[in-house]
Amino acid sequence: MKAPVAVVVAVVAAALVCGGCSSSPPSAGDRLTVFAAASLKSTFTDLGARFEKDNPGTTVTFSFAGSSELATQLTQGAPADVFASADTANMTKAVDDGLVSGDPVAFATNTLTIVTPPGNPSGIATFADLARPGIQVVTCAPQVPCGAAADRVEKATGVSLAPVSEESSVTDVLGKITSGQADAGLVYVTDAANAGDKVTEIAFPEARRAVNVYPIAVLNQARSRPAAQRFVDLITGPQGRDVLAAAGFAEP
Beta bridge partners of 186: 114
39 and 191 in contact (C-beta within 8 Å)?
A: yes
Long-range contacts of 22-28 (CB under 8 A, 24+ apart): 27/57, 28/57
Q: Known binding site: residues?
A: 39, 67, 170, 188
End-to-end CA distance of the chain: 76
With residues binned 3-state (H G I as helix, E B as strand, rest as coil), the percentages for the chain, rounded to 5, are 45, 25, 35
Per the annotation, where are the binding residues for molybdate?
39, 67, 170, 188
Task: Classify each residue of 80-102 as buried b or exposed e, where b means 16 or more C-beta atoms within 10 Å of its C-beta.
Answer: bbbbbbbbbbbbebbbeeebbbe
Please compute Rg for the chain using Cα positions. Answer: 25
H helix runs in 158-237, sequence order: 170-178, 189-195, 225-236
What whole-number distance in Å separates Cα of residue 126 and Cα of residue 231? Answer: 40
